Structures are given as structure tokens and as C-alpha cells.
């Protein structure tokens, strides 16, 4: 159990990046945004759909330098998020509004930490500004912040436990947001996910592109009687490091609600 919590909540993840490529089958779409000059009727290359389903999967290999046994020293964890992306044209390019459907936190050692599903559904969309250049969608960095009020969502540090900027965002009377480990209790934390995308636009129903992700967190406490989550997180951040990561982001045209997204990306 101690290793589970250390790996899941005690790792200071640095910027992770990978490249992607186009994939899957061709398909129809309505109201594409951007591009299209000089292209044949029905060719949606260089455009992004007004509504798309999104799935983001980040797989990370971790190393715990306190362990000498290779079987214990290295582990792999996966973070997955699905949502609906609404795209609108702007004077400078496009705006993407990503509404989360669900987030699956990394499972470690057979345990599945969870964010409350109703809380995730209540979160405001993550808004990203972008442009379409040479049939490629490129977005500027944006950040989703949970459990904290930040003057600058990108640059401001997450607050300490005693700060008035800690936000009980899920309304359960505990600091930050509560992350549940079933059968054990809750961990209270603030988290920030920074994200930008680079997607080749090819007219395919589903495209796969590059994601750059940075995740950081501040742990404020827990109600697990045998465990000090904040102290363990601070200690583990010194020893548990990300050795490599693969981030895959996919957009599927026409998946306009969470039911369609879950069907497209089971």
C-alpha cells in the first residue's frame, strides 16, 4: 500500500512529450473548422471538426532509486482521460473547449485511486487556443487546475496546505480535491495538468498526434489511519523519477457527447 501511494501521489512529473501519426479510417464530418482552400469538395484535410471525441493516454515508466531489486525498482503506470472537444473559429485561428467525461488515474499494485465521477463531470471545460498551419493543428499550452486558486494557471506554484488559495473544489469539507483509494480512505491534494497538442489533420475519422504534458501536485493530508500521505509524497519525490513516457492523444470526428466518446474509445 505504501508503494502504491508513493508512486501515484509522490512523484514530481516533469514535462513529457512524444510524437504521433495519423491513423484509422476515413469518414464524413459536419461543420469542419479552418483550412480547405483549393481542396476538392468533401476533402476535410486541414480542418478540425466542430465536435470531436478526445482520448489522452500517458504511459510512464518509473524508477524508485531506493530499490535494488529490478523487479521493484521499475514500474509502469498509465493515466487516461476522455472528453468532448468543441472547436470554434477565432480571428487568430481556432479555440478548443475540452469537456472531460472521465479520468482514470494510474493503477499501481492492483489498487485503483479514483476521482469522484460526479465531480469530474462538473468541471468547467479546459480552453485551448490554437492555429491550423500546413494541415496541422497546434495549440498553445493550457492548464487544468484542481483544488487550488491560482493567479496564473500556468506559472503560479500550487499553494501550501496553510494557504488561503487551497480550494475545497469538490465540496466535501477537506482541502483540495479528494482522491479515493477504495477500502483505505481519501488523500487530499491539489493537482495541475498542463497540456498542448499538435495534431496532423488528414481527413481521417480518427487522427493521432503529439501531446506535451506536465503534471504537478501538492498533497495536503489524508484520512488513512496508518499513513501520512503528505510526508510520504515529499520523501518519494526525491527518489521516484520518470524514466520515459509515451503520450498518445486521439481526436475522433463527430463524437459529440460522452456516450459517443466512450463508444469510440472504450
pLDDT at 119: 95
What Cα–Cα distance (Å) separates residue 130 from each residue in 6, 50, 68, 136? 36, 14, 45, 10
Between CA 75 and CA 73 the distance in angstroms is: 7
Query: Which segments in the chain show pLDDT lower than 70?
Result: 1-46, 108-109
Cα 16-19-20 angle, rounded to 5 deg? 130
Residues 74, 63 contacting (CB under 8 angstroms): yes
Range of the domain at 147: 2-264
Between CA 213 and CA 128 the distance in angstroms is: 14
List helix spans (H) across 150-257.
229-239
Between CA 256 and CA 83 the distance in angstroms is: 9
Collect all residues with Cβ–Cβ distance below 8 Å to 171 and sequence separation of at least 6: none
pLDDT tens digits, 35-48: 544 344 445 566 77
How much of the chain, in percent, has pLDDT values that exceed 90? 48
Domain count, the chain: 1
pLDDT at 109: 64
pLDDT tens digits, 198-207: 989 877 889 9
Amino acid at each position: 500500500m505504501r508503494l502504491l501511494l508513493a508512486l501515484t501521489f509522490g512523484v514530481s512529473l516533469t514535462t513529457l512529450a512524444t510524437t504521433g501519426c495519423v491513423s484509422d479510417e476515413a469518414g464524413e464530418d459536419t461543420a469542419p473548422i479552418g483550412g480547405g482552400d483549393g481542396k476538392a469538395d468533401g476533402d476535410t484535410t486541414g480542418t478540425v471538426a466542430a465536435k470531436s471525441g478526445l482520448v489522452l493516454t500517458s504511459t510512464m515508466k518509473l524508477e524508485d532509486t531506493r530499490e535494488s531489486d529490478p523487479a521493484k525498482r521499475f514500474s509502469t503506470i498509465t493515466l487516461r482521460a476522455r472528453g468532448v472537444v468543441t472547436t470554434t473559429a477565432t480571428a487568430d485561428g481556432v479555440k478548443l473547449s475540452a469537456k472531460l467525461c472521465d479520468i482514470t488515474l494510474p493503477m499501481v499494485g492492483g489498487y485503483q485511486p479514483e476521482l469522484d465521477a460526479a465531480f469530474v463531470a462538473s468541471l468547467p471545460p479546459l480552453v485551448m487556443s490554437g492555429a491550423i498551419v500546413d494541415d496541422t493543428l497546434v495549440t498553445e499550452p493550457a492548464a487544468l487546475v484542481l483544488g487550488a486558486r491560482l493567479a496564473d494557471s500556468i506559472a503560479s506554484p500550487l499553494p501550501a496546505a496553510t494557504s488561503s488559495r487551497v480550494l475545497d473544489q469538490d465540496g466535501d469539507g477537506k482541502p483540495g480535491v479528494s482522491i479515493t483509494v477504495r477500502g483505505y480512505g481519501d488523500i487530499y491534494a491539489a493537482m495541475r495538468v498542463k497540456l498542448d497538442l499538435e495534431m496532423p489533420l488528414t481527413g481521417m475519422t480518427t487522427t493521432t498526434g503529439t501531446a506535451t504534458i506536465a503534471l504537478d501536485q501538492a498533497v495536503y493530508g489524508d484520512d488513512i489511519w496508518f499513513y501520512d500521505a503528505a510526508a510520504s509524497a515529499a520523501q518519494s519525490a526525491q527518489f521516484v523519477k520518470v524514466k520515459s513516457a509515451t503520450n498518445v492523444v486521439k481526436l475522433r470526428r463527430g463524437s459529440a457527447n460522452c456516450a459517443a466518446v466512450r463508444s469510440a474509445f472504450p
